Structure 1
Amino acid sequence: MRRYGYSIFCDDIRSEAGGKLSFIGCYNAVMMTAQKFPLVLSKFCIHFHVFSPATQPYTSVTARCYVPGEPEPIAEEPIEVPGLLDQQNLLDRLPKDIAVPPYIVVASSLVFSPLEIREPGLINIRVVINGGPDELHLGSLQVVPAST
């Protein structure tokens, strides 16, 4: 069992009644822009989920966002994770003979307002788990000029 995750790239995220989220203007792998580079987006959002086997608890999760033309992350945000005792209690309460192994999920959103993108390329979201040296890739969005 391995850790994994995914991301939704969109123009806005709205909180709805009952704890629901609405994602407005979602992108499908590619953002085509008619604007010249560098371009400035008035708002840009990334919502992500990280899944870790319950046998591999979190002590920390830090999200990093990279944009084209910037070698370092433009954002590095610590994400709140359940306490180790809470994670262990979850594992202890589950039946030992379940067919699907339990995962602990951490979800969060990054909101940029505005976001400058200097050149075409990939917007990447990654997380560092438990302060480790490796980054877990949660997705990317290719930014390209629209063909004229």
Structure 2
Amino acid sequence: MKTASLQRYAYTIFCDDLREEVGGKFSLMGIYRNILIPSAPLPISLPHFAAVVHFVEPATEEFKALTIRLYFPGQDENEPPAAQVDIAADQNTAPPETDVPLDRQVRSLAIPFRIAPLKLETAGRLRVRIERDGEVILAGTLQILGGPQETTASGGSSSATEKDSDGAAS
């Protein structure tokens, strides 16, 4: 039987708040599916907001530089990000699994972001990007609607395809 090759990927879980628990666990409260509908019209300030960015790649690959950036709706990705985390190369280790060949192992990082308060000025997409040794990896988006008067029929799980502000797939 042929086994699929391991691929690098990233995704983000957006929520109201998170706690780091004993044993390396996260407790996430108020997880958003793919849309955030503020309780009042924009602009608004939310007391808490959090995201956990997951980055997975084959254990045989090592990065020199890994940067996670969060961009607010309406913010150009050529501008400084709203939030940024730089991951040191010394965190570039994967625990060895003796019963799994090295070429079948993965390195998995979970990086928490907390923003308190979160000030939302405009509707649009909150975007997460990872830069790994010069390569940009799309790590997720959260659609921010204009407030309770703006409704949507969408309530399902988020799409794997990201779209930029003009609706084109990115």
Contact 1:79 1:108 in 2 (8 A): no
User: How high is the TM-score relative to the length of structure 1?
Assistant: 0.82
Please state whether the residue corresponding to 1:17 is helix, strand or coil. coil
Cα 1:12–1:95 shift into 2, 3 Å: closer
**Cα offset, 1:95, TM superposition:** 4.9
**Cα offset, 1:116, TM superposition:** 1.1
| Aligned sequence identity (%) | 29
Which residue of the partner structure matches residue 126 of structure 2?
A: 123
1:102 equivalent in alignment to 2:138: no
Q: Deviations over 1:91-126 (max 9, x none)?
A: 8x6654x8x821111111111011111110111111
Cα RMSD for the two superposed structures: 2.4
Please tell me the residue identity of whatever aligns with 1:74: A
**Cα offset, 1:83, TM superposition:** 5.2
1:28 to 26, 30, 33: 33
Contact 1:65 1:74 in 2 (8 A): yes
> Structure 1: 5+ residue runs without aligned partners?
none
- Supply the distance in 2 between the matched residues of 1:80 and 1:106 (Cα, whole angstroms): 12
Which residue of the partner structure matches residue 85 of structure 2?
A: 77
> Structure 2: 5+ residue runs without aligned partners?
1-5, 151-170
Please tell me the residue identity of whatever aligns with 2:126: I
**Cα offset, 1:22, TM superposition:** 0.6
Please tell me the residue identity of whatever aligns with 1:104: R
Please state whether the residue corresponding to 1:19 is helix, strand or coil. coil
More helix by proportion, 1 or 2? 1
- Supply the distance in 2 between the matched residues of 1:15 and 1:4 (Cα, whole angstroms): 23
User: How high is the TM-score relative to the length of structure 2?
Assistant: 0.72
Cα 1:14–1:28 shift into 2, 3 Å: same
